[in-house]
Amino acid sequence: MSPLTVDGSHMTDTWGTVTAVDDEGATIRVDDSGCGRCREPGGCGGNNLAQLLCRTPRTFRVPNPDRCTVGERVRVGVAEGSVASSALHAYALPVLALLAGALGGSVLAGEVGAIGGSIAGLFIGWLGLRRAQLRGMRDRRLRPWIRS
């Protein structure tokens, strides 16, 4: 069972190390790529894929209300579902838009239409991804934070 945040919503967390601090927050290097639930029931296995594709350490900027210091190990939390939602927007939306554009273009104008439709679909998918990114940046509930 996932821990609860202050507002009652579920959350996921992982461990990291503070690598830099300033007046605005802290930079955290996360040890694992993912939530750490890869081997648990309900885990997505994303850590296994991340280890294969991403060898560099992942870092995040987070608020630092407790004034953590460089070198300190901290637990970083994110709202449950925010990672899955981000993955859906980042991977599925552009691919589905590309395929829909290619199919629609093919029906309207054959092979040339499929090429043009796939380019238009990919652009529309990118616009949708950008819109979701901007909306997510404004939503404080979706940002990672240092757990006490």
How do residues 6-35 score in pLDDT, each as one tens digit?
444 556 778 899 999 998 889 999 876 555
Beta-bridged to residue 60, according to DSSP, are 28
Say yes or no: 4 and 58 in one domain. yes
Q: Are residues 106 and 63 in the same domain?
A: no
Q: What's the pLDDT at 70?
A: 94
Say how far apart CA 140 and CA 121 lie, in whole Å.
30
Residues 7 and 62 in one domain: yes
Residue 124 · residue 132 · CB < 8 Å: no
Separation CA 27–CA 21 (nearest Å): 6
Q: What is the pLDDT of residues 70-119, one digit of tens each?
A: 999 999 888 877 777 888 888 899 999 999 999 999 999 999 999 999 99
**Domain stop point among 80, 102, 120:** 80
User: Based on the domain organization, do 1 and 69 belong to the same domain?
Assistant: yes
Shared domain for 61 and 112, answered yes or no, is no
Interatomic CA distance for residues 58 and 33, integer angstroms:
7
**pTM of the entire predicted model:** 0.58
Full residue range of the structural domain in which residue 85 is found: 81-139
